[in-house]
Structures are given as C-alpha cells and as structure tokens.
A and B are shown apart, each in its own frame.
Chain A
C-alpha cells in the first residue's frame, strides 16, 4: 500500500509545485496528506537552494557582460561616492547596501543630501548593530529621498573599544535623537553631537543595554532590578 501512497504523494507534490495546492488538500487519509505537505516543503526548500546557487552565477555572468549598464541603484550611488571621496568605501560588493569607512562620513552625508540626482533629504532610520561579544560594532543608516522616491542603506563599521563616528546631526535634524538613542543602546560616541547624553535610559544607568555582552545591574537607587524569584516560584 505504501508504494502507491508514495506515488500519490510524489505527483501531488509535483502539482503543488506548479501552484495548485488542492491536489494535496483533497487527499482523504490524514497521514499521507501530512507526509505530502512535508515532502512539498522539502521540495520547495531544495528548489530555493538551487535557485540561490544560480543567481550568484547569473549575477557574475551579468556583471561580466554589462558591468556598467543596468547596475542596481546602490551600485550607482557607490560609484558616485567613490568618485567624490576616493577611499571612503570599505568594500566593493554592493548588494543593496554600501559599506563605508567612518572618516569622511559627514562630508559624504552632506553630498548625498545636496547632490541634485540623489537628494536624500530624509534620514529614515539609524540602527546600531553588534556583530558579537568581541567583534566590532556597526551603525546602519537608511536614507530616503522624498522627491526621487529611492532609498539606500549605508553601513559603517566601528571598532568596539573606541567607538567614534562623526555625527550627522547638522545634515538631518532627526539625527540628533536617533544618534542619542544609538549612543544610549550601544555606547557609540557621535563626534560633534550637540548633546551626547542618554535619551531612553536614566543618566546614571550602567552599561550599554543592547550590546551582546550586557549584564543587568543589580541595584538601581536601592531598588532590586532583576526579578526576585524566591517566594514566587
């Protein structure tokens, strides 16, 4: 009985891959149906993995044929940045974001905002990032242009111990609070910021909460911070 069961599963998975799910749904016996579904999910994952291998090959081939022609938008911004500030880009591969060095970030930010064909006038989001307990930190800026409706993400790696990065508070006014929050959570110092203090945690809070190696402090002004479990559970 199991052989035709597998046949039934195999062909219903084929049909499901083409997209019509009811082939699997109307199998009466519950066990085979769940087996069929599992097989379908496995098949899908293999299909995706196979697709994933081809794309880099495809991309590489595409890059060789027409390196300049229809690059992604991020690549154009990267090229423009490299031309304006030689040496400011960290790595060359641009898949959706630009990796930059921190030194010329303030001038690059101003350039990105004032350049007529970029016009990134709204800083959407500043995200602090921690690669691991002893690796380095990173700040990710999502920029967006209200007029051209395009967006870009810029990442800047910072060393963990002396984490300094130029502040873009003068370029986008909202940077003021975003950077204070990133400072509050990760301890990244934004050089040139007007009021570099904590914004969410109290001033006398110990440690940088979102770093991976953060331990909660025991007491705060005489109040026990961690959960006192005895007597409860």
Chain B
C-alpha cells in the first residue's frame, strides 16, 4: 500500500468523471444519430423450430417510410454465417448461424426478415405486413427432451443434441466412497436466466462505399473482438473496420457475444451503403439476448467420521441454445459449473462429468460468474448436508475442510485448478464476527419454538479472475486476453491514458485514472481516459472475467512507472542528483533537498518544445505503451465467504431477506467505494437468480414471461442491506496485486440463499433443490414433507 491514500491506491474516491451520467449527459448508442440514418425492425420466428416456406414482402412497401425488406438470402451474398466450432472443444459443434434465417429456424424469436425504414415505428408497421408461411417442426425444448434417446434434433444438421462431453478429475472415485463414514447426495436444478441489462442491446452500422470503411457503434464489452468478427463475416480487412462502444447501460456478460441480429444490421448497411440503427426492444431482449445457467446436476460427497471430505462425484447437464454462442461458444458456463465444484476445499478424490445439450432456445453464453454460481451453490448445499450428517456446525464443517494452497508439489487441484494462496479461513473468521453468528443461531433456535423459521446461509467461493490467454488460445479461439495502456504526457503536464479495458458501469476507468494519478501524485481529473474505440485505443481484451483492474491496472502501473523513470532522468540531470533520489508530490519533483519546483508541466514543456534544454541531450518518450497478460498462471484466483439471514413463511411460501454479509479477498483494492458497489450489485443479481429469475417456456418452446412484470428481477423493497468486509492478499502475478471482483457477488449469492433456505426449512423436514426458489416451489417442498410426516 503506498503511503499516499488521499488519491492513489486505496482511496474511496467518488467518480467525478461519471457525474455527467447523473446529469443525463451520458451518450449511449440510441443517443447517437446522423443524417440519413435508417432504422430496422425484424420479423422474428414465432415457433421454437420451423422451416420458412414462403415470404411475401409486397404489402410492407405500402407503409410510407419503408425503404427495403431484406431476407436471409439477400444477405447470404455478402455475409457468411457464424461458424462457431472451436477446434479445442471437438464435440462442441454448431450449425452455421446466418444473420437472417434462410430456411431452418430453431428458436422462437430468431430474426427472419429485416424491414428498413426512415423510423423504427414505420419499420414495425412494415414488419406487421410481411407474411411468412411456416412449416412448424418438432422441437426439443427442455434438457430432458434434448437428452432423450428419441430426442428430436434441435437443428437438422445433427441427429442428436449432445454438444459437450467432458470429465474433470479421476476416472473413478468409488473407493473414496467405499470406506466413507458418511455419504450425502442431492440433485440440483437451475432455471434458465438472462442478463436483463436496463439498456437493451443496440447497434449503429455505417458502411461508407466511398472510403470502403465500416464504422460501428455498439453497446458492447469487447469492441476489438467485434472488429475481428465483422471483418471476418463480411470479408473485409480488419483495418477497415472501426468499432466504438460508447456509454453502455450495463452488460454483465450479455454484451460479450456476437449476435446474429446485430450482424444482420451490419450486413444490411453494407448492402445499402447507408447508416442503419437497431435497438433491441424489451420483448425481443427476452427471446433473443443470450440466455444462461439452465442446468441439472447431481452430486455425492464422501466424508470421514470427523467430517473431512474424502471425495466428490458430480454430474452436470447444461442446457445450451440452438447454436453455440459466437465466438466463444456456450461451453464456458457448463465447464466451470463442473470444474469449480469443491474448489474452496481439500476434497480428496474428485470426479465431475459435464454434458451440454442443444435445445430449441436462444444460444446460451457467459453471464456474470460463468458457471461458478452453480458450482458454489452445489458445493455449499452439499457441505451443509455433510455437516448435519456428521453432526458438526456448518461453520466448523467449512473451516476444517478449507484449502489454503495447492497440495505439496501439485501443479493444480484434483479438478485441474491452478490456485494461488487462498484466504478463506481469515475471510470466514471475519465474517462470523461481523454477523455475530452465535447470537443469530441462538435467536434462530428460540424463534423456531414460536413457529418462526429463520435461516442462516453460508457460501464460500473461489473465483477465477483476470483470465489470460491460456483459456481460449489453446481452444483455437481468436480472443485477445492482454490488456494494454498507452500513456501520453501532454505538453501541459496532464496525462492521457488510452486503454484496451472497457467500462460498462464498473468504474474501472475511474479507478485506472486514480491509479495513474497516484503514480504522479496529481488529481485524477488530470488523467483523461480514452476507451472503447478501436480507432483510438491499443489492442486488448476489453471487459470479461473481472479483468479490468487485475490486468488493465497492471499495464497502467507499468506504463506509469516507465514514464516516471524517463522524467526522473531528465529531472535528475537538471537537479544534479540521481534519479533514484527523486519522488513526486502533488505533480512536482521532490529532490534530495526537498521540493524542487520542477513540475510535470515544466518537464513536459522541455520534452515537447525545448529538448535542447534536457541535460541528457535527448528526451524520453512522451507516449509509452504497456501490455500485460499473466504468463505464470492462466488466471488469478480470488476468494471470499457470503452469509445471509432470512425468514421463511412456510404457509405463504415467502422469503424475507433480513441481512447480508460478505467478506471478499480481491487482493489490492484500488478504490473501495467502487469495489464494494461491484459486490453489492453482483450479490443482488445472485439473489435474483436464487429467488426470482427464470425464462418460462411452454412445453412447445413458446417464451411465456417476456415482460419486466413477468420475468422478475430484484427491485429495491425486497433487497437487504449488504455489509461488505475485506481481507487483502495481493496476487503475486502482478506488481499491483489486484484480483478481479466484478463477479464475486453473483458467484456466492445463489449458494448463500439456497443454504439459508434449506437451513430454515430443516425443522419441517423440507428441502428445496430447484432454483429459483419461488413461493410455489417452497410450498411444494413443505407440503411434501407434511405428507411424509403424516
């Protein structure tokens, strides 16, 4: 921790640079307009699986304002379908996904026809007059249907729906179970969810036939990835494509992917040579945005008499969509859901099989936490089952099994996780103290006597953050994993940082400015941040897997250090001392004899205008670029423990969230204000998954809760106050020592709510296994227990 905590690392500085958002001066994609801008509305498939027989477009042209009605075959001439078949995951195969359906459509809501008009309203009027004749085909909508032997293929290119098959750990773990004192087992169900960003997806594409350049503005997390995608699909040189992500209204992984409807917009612009805007509306968002988390699992855990874990044996069946999500595939969620089971603990023997099943539903892709919320929920529920089987307190059960480092001489855990030093025991100790655990347990016991059912839930987690090139590279996926910072000292002494990192509200750009400002002891508003625009930033990953500060911060720190070294050489020459004697205080050099009056502005003026005044005879670089990707480890593991205190009404089926605590170790904290809010926001998304959120499909694949009144996301009244604590173990992979935190909240919250609910229901002999835990599912469990006790 550097001593300057006023504005450097560790200062809870507010985001002054973001004040404009509170004044309505944000610039999101839909706020951007330009002359001649056209608008698109899509005619979308009404069936889960169908074949287009005929499209009649003429009536649409009767609408004043309709300029063009474009079908799949029109775009096929200039745009190739997505080909999402990562060589490194051989069985994860996917049919080509065209921008617009050509003949086979395999999820309700897939874009079929693009109506282009002078306004969105006119485009929608036109879309209503396009007649599409369909042949409805049989569909596989649930995981059970998709994995049945007689299953209908979700896409006729295949004769079954298996699209992922993998095993982590040992082939056989049966002897760990053979001589176990206790074996506990449970099944788990996780509902299909979607990210529900308040700002829906949106894109403007402008192909200029004169310059033969494509400009795209898009609400997105990884503009560099999208530059490569559009160049590949349209057969353009990447250098002729520029993608800019302006202000983004929330992303959460949902805006990490390449969508067919957005590709269609780009292709339409290329076809027409006109700027075209398309903003997804809320109904379309539910049926066409990436889905995630649909999974079924079964897990067994073997224990010795004292409660030590001897072995874990698990199977996860994950529900994907009709196509693999482009470009990173749909396997990420399922793989981490299986591999991360038991991660916080020494588990002895470990086996986790994972299967991915194609379904006639929208493609599923990474969403905040990427499978780790499922692994954590399974693990922590099993730990509680084990604690009651062995007869020890759930806190003790966790403490005696926590892992702190890799086993002696091991390169990875049984599941293949390369884990650095963990601090779960210290996090747990701090958590138990913060929540006054013993008092809550005593109060819980007393209240049960009066028929009031309180629950205390605990969830320990390990989370993979700052993921490097080791994840996607070997799988043959062209995904940038480095983060870069191009730092420029302006003639007036201010600094410009162009970073590959992007910010959808996490505050990463403010934290980077704060970090850089701290290195020169200047005010953060003296550091201008440039991000999200491939025309003005260095190449790099963007925002995914909680990498902003972990990797982007390290690049910024290194660039700042190199810049400072160059300036100190000039200053040392002027002040007749050694560069190592120098430091900076509020933007001016401090020499051996104290403040020198030599300001950054003065040095900058010398370097830019009066190089001859530099005693070295030459001047240092005014622009320095550093790029960083972790080389020694594939990712940086962070960890923490969640706890939630709830009250369940076993007759109404309602759950009240009384209080929530989390103690998280994300290494060096640059700005605690931003980090704590990332945790709170992530926790509430995790609570949404646990209690409210599910994409409800009818048995024939019709999405049935496509409004914000029916797909329930958490709102203010039901959410608890969340008490945030920290343990700080800097990572050794970087000089900065920061680990990722963006997903830590979402990873642990579903597990905490699940264990709290089963703790609350245990005196009734009831248990819930299917998330979200709606009133109906809670009451079904209670009524089943009542029937059994009769």
Report if A and B associate in a common complex: no
Query: Which A positions have Cβ atoms within 8 angstroms of B?
Result: none
Query: Which B positions have Cβ atoms within 8 angstroms of A?
Result: none
